[in-house]
Structure 1
Amino acid sequence: MRERFAANGDALPQVLARLAGRPELRETVFLSTCNRVEVFANAAARGGVKQALLAIREVLAAYASVSPSEISQYLYEKHGEDAVRHIFRVTASLDSMVLGEPQILGQVKDAYEAALAAGTLGHLLGRCVHRAFTVAKRVRSETALGAGLVSISSVAVDLARRIFGDLADHTVLLVGAGEMAEAAAKSLGRGGRPIRIVNRTFATGEALAKEFGGTCSPWSALEDELRMADVVVTSTGANTFVVTADMVKRAMRARKGRTLFFIDIAVPRNVDPAVHGLDNVYVFNVDDLEQQVAEGLKSRQKEVSVAERIVNAELTEYVSWARGLDVQPAVVALRAKTRAVLLGELERTLSGRLKHLGEGDRAALEQMMESAVNKLLHAPTTRLKAGAANGTEGEHVNAIKHLFDLPEPPRTSDPPEIAGPFGSGAGSVAEKDDDERLPH
């Protein structure tokens, strides 16, 4: 089921376009990895969270050609602070199958860039994901969560070593030359028998092979390479099986019964499951690696509590900032009304009894009025912002609007871009390096 929802390459802009076409959603990010498919979203004020979640379900179901009811049992939904915490934990690899693996940060960054390019990212969700990058950076630098086996690729290589012992006496074939294949090559090291690579784009495969002292063959030579390999690690982005049962049957006849192991870390899978049923052929996929992952998890578990404290601290900072967005319109309206009243009175006085004053004196009086506005409104502004930090901003804003008869902000069919996620307009949601641009 997860494979049906995977969206990479050309499919990703199509999914983002479908999500952007729904009026219930103001901002969206689509994340697709080997172990998860997620939508981060900021709901439109009209309809709120409930309608936004329904819209996401409908888009996902249509994309995968299934009914919304068919996928219900596979979905989890979070909103408000829970959604923000989830995004922080995902990006920091606290929710990964391999705890502490580094690939997820790059995958979230790719999803962020894709949403930015598609125009589906705004200020609120953009700031949230950007903050998640800061969380991941802190977890990586302030904890030892990434120690030991920290990727699906490294776990796959460790499994191969457990099966064969020293891989220096066995031939390892990488099918695919992307990020996962590179991670596997790094885990294999540069010693022993040279790594063999088959890749659709020969130049890419050849570059990776040279980096690790291996050899690359064209895609058409895949079946020939299977006859020579002992361990095959597949990680291509293909949407269909690239290794079929018939292909392996022919290769096994030429191998004269020598055992062949496939470690399929691609989603969708690269190896036809029927291959596992052939004599002396064994196939492990992403889900099969969970037991290996559990063993490596024990040594890093003590670091989780430190990482969770980082997540909670950053969550508090983000929530305070986001709630402050609800306060800002009231602060602006209060200052505008106060300034208009005081400056109106000043203008009337300067055109009457004080009309004899020169330009210098008039400018001094205007400056005095501006200073008076700032001093008069300093305490209310500070209290409103403090209310946003502790979650009482709603009652304070309503009181200010009532006491000072402030106008409501203009309503349009498309709500203003900056809106807090924890009031009625909040959606279900999940910081690149500080020098990178925030979306507006």
Structure 2
Amino acid sequence: MPAERLLLLGVNHKTTPVEVREKIALSSGYDEPLTALKRVRGLKEYYLLSTCNRVEFLLVAQPDKNIEQEIIRFLFGEGALLQDVGKYLYILEGQAAVKHLFMVAASLDSMIVGEAQILGQLKVAYRHASQLGCTGPLLNKLLHKSFSVAKRVRTETAIGSSAVSISFAAVQLAKKIFGNLKEKNVLLVGAGEMAELAAEHLVGQGVGGVVVANRTLSRAVSLAQRFNGKAVSMDELIVQLETVDIIISSTGAKDIILYKEDVKSIMRSRMNKPLFFIDIAVPRDLDPKLNELDNVYLYDIDDLSTVVEMNRSERDKEAVKATRIVEEEALKFERYYQGLAITPAILELRQKIDSIGQYELEKTMHKLPGLTEEEKKHLEKMISAINAKVLHHPLMYLKADSCMGRDNRDKKVAIIRELFGLGD
């Protein structure tokens, strides 16, 4: 029988509403909960991942312990029972746990498929678990394998190359217009959430500076500080167009705030350097006639939504390839994992056959005291060859792929143990 169980228990954005997730979010970081897990009996190795969209436990546990109930109490409180929280919780074992981990690492289980953030979160979580001595040989190998699976998915597919959020689509369009975004200056008009996210992406691309214009100056100052930029009033909007390259607008205004004629006069002083406008407001902030000006590019939320839908379709195709890679790698790890379970039986079998051969060899040599050294070596080689031939078929039987199902594997190990008297 296997010496341990490989388990994965968790909740995520698919199974659990945010009002439940926020109650079990581990806001204190990793060290406190990982230290607390040391007190759970039956855990041999363990790892914890906590993000805004998921909390997951990856465990190596003794087979005779009810670890599931212990983790339920850990997550939901002392009085929690499986029948009460089962609708939120997923419990996976063996290959299913391995596949799920690989899917998470490859960003195939994320809210936005293909986003790159999750792999970094996995590595941070692993670093904490490793430093506290929570992981061991099996989880160390499994988690490192999940990182290499994610890298393979990124290398062999285009899962992360297409923009599937409005904010990221805006940045991708800006890159197409300007090529390199370094040293380009950004003007945020208003302080809407999507404009803020687009600014985050742009800052990540190394833009030169950020200016925030808002009707409430205190809000502009607060947002500008976040991006190490500067705040201006809405009255300064047109003047700022002389020095910026990308404008993201998301005010709550009921009417157009910037017209074609306003920008036309500025283009002369800009020497016709390109201006890229992103209008994420509904109703629109920017005059649609801006597109009639040379070197002025205007995209509204419908334009960006079209880009997102086209890219989502492409990413879904890539997700099919990525899932195939995950399944292939999960099968490889399953063979390795199942091999660990039969290794003790193989070692015992080898030792038993070798000890029988050695006993008979010594008994024969004792009866033939006149053997030369060369004759003794011939006898030793003969016994070694007999041992190898006796072992060949039992070992092939244990290692065969048909043994890789857990129930079938355990039956085969039991048969070999009984036939050869292992453990007697």
Tell me the TM-score normalized by structure 2.
0.63
Structure 2 counterparts to residues 201-216 of structure 1, below 5 A = none
- 1:420 match: none
Kept in 1, the 8 Å contact 2:164–2:312? The answer is no
* Counterpart Cα distance in 1 of 2:355 and 2:120: 50
| Pair 402,373 (structure 1): closer, same or farther in 2 beyond 3 Å | same
Kept in 2, the 8 Å contact 1:385–1:393? The answer is no
Query: SS of 2:47's equivalent?
Result: strand
| Pair 79,255 (structure 1): closer, same or farther in 2 beyond 3 Å | farther
- 1:437 match: none
Kept in 1, the 8 Å contact 2:73–2:79? The answer is no
- 1:298 match: 313
What CA deviation, in whole Å up to 9, does each residue of 1:188-233 have, x standing for no partner? x425x4379xxxxxxxxxxxxxxxxxxxxxxxxxx99744366787
| Pair 66,344 (structure 1): closer, same or farther in 2 beyond 3 Å | closer
Shift of 1:307: 0.9
- 2:300 match: none
Shift of 1:314: 1.0
User: Which structure would you say has the larger Rg?
Assistant: 2
One of 389, 393, 418 as aligned partner of 2:404: 389
One of 210, 232, 242 as aligned partner of 1:194: 210
One of 342, 348, 355 as aligned partner of 1:340: 355
Amino acid at match of 2:413: V
Confirm or deny that 1:5 pairs with 2:24: yes
- 1:130 match: 144
- 1:402 match: 418
What CA deviation, in whole Å up to 9, does each residue of 1:80-120 have, x standing for no partner? 32222111100000001111111211211222222222222
Amino acid at match of 2:317: K
What CA deviation, in whole Å up to 9, does each residue of 1:263-287 have, x standing for no partner? xxxxxxxxxxxxxxxxxxxxxxxxx
One of 340, 354, 359 as aligned partner of 1:325: 340
* Counterpart Cα distance in 1 of 2:63 and 2:405: 22
Kept in 1, the 8 Å contact 2:210–2:224? The answer is no
Structure 2 counterparts to residues 235-250 of structure 1, below 5 A = none
Amino acid at match of 2:158: A
* Counterpart Cα distance in 2 of 1:317 and 1:184: 40
Kept in 2, the 8 Å contact 1:401–1:407? The answer is yes
Kept in 1, the 8 Å contact 2:168–2:201? The answer is yes
Q: Which runs of 5+ in 2 are unaligned?
A: 1-19, 174-183, 192-197, 238-248, 252-304
Q: Which runs of 5+ in 1 are unaligned?
A: 160-165, 174-179, 197-222, 235-250, 262-289, 409-440
Shift of 1:66: 8.4
Confirm or deny that 1:16 pairs with 2:34: yes
* Counterpart Cα distance in 2 of 1:114 and 1:299: 36
Kept in 2, the 8 Å contact 1:88–1:311? The answer is yes
Amino acid at match of 1:112: Y
Greater strand fraction, Structure 1 or Structure 2? 2
One of 142, 149, 158 as aligned partner of 1:144: 158
Confirm or deny that 1:228 pairs with 2:221: yes
CA-based RMSD of the aligned residues comes to: 4.2
* Counterpart Cα distance in 2 of 1:154 and 1:374: 62
| Pair 151,351 (structure 1): closer, same or farther in 2 beyond 3 Å | farther
Structure 2 counterparts to residues 17-416 of structure 1, below 5 A = 17-47=35-65, 51-62=66-77, 67=80, 72-149=86-163, 154=168, 168-170=186-188, 185-187=203-205, 189-190=206-207, 193-194=209-210, 226-228=219-221, 297-352=312-367, 354-386=368-400, 387-389=402-404, 392-407=408-423
Shift of 1:304: 1.3
What CA deviation, in whole Å up to 9, does each residue of 1:225-278 have, x standing for no partner? 7443667879xxxxxxxxxxxxxxxx99x999x9998xxxxxxxxxxxxxxxxx
Shift of 1:155: 7.1
- Larger relative contact order (Cα-Cα within 8 Å, sequence gap ≥ 6): 1
| Pair 76,184 (structure 1): closer, same or farther in 2 beyond 3 Å | farther
**Worse-superposed segment, 67-76 or 119-128:** 67-76
Kept in 1, the 8 Å contact 2:159–2:315? The answer is yes
Amino acid at match of 1:5: I
Amino acid at match of 2:389: K
Tell me the TM-score normalized by structure 1.
0.61
Kept in 1, the 8 Å contact 2:164–2:309? The answer is no
Shift of 1:151: 8.2
Query: SS of 2:108's equivalent?
Result: coil
- 2:278 match: none
- 1:417 match: none
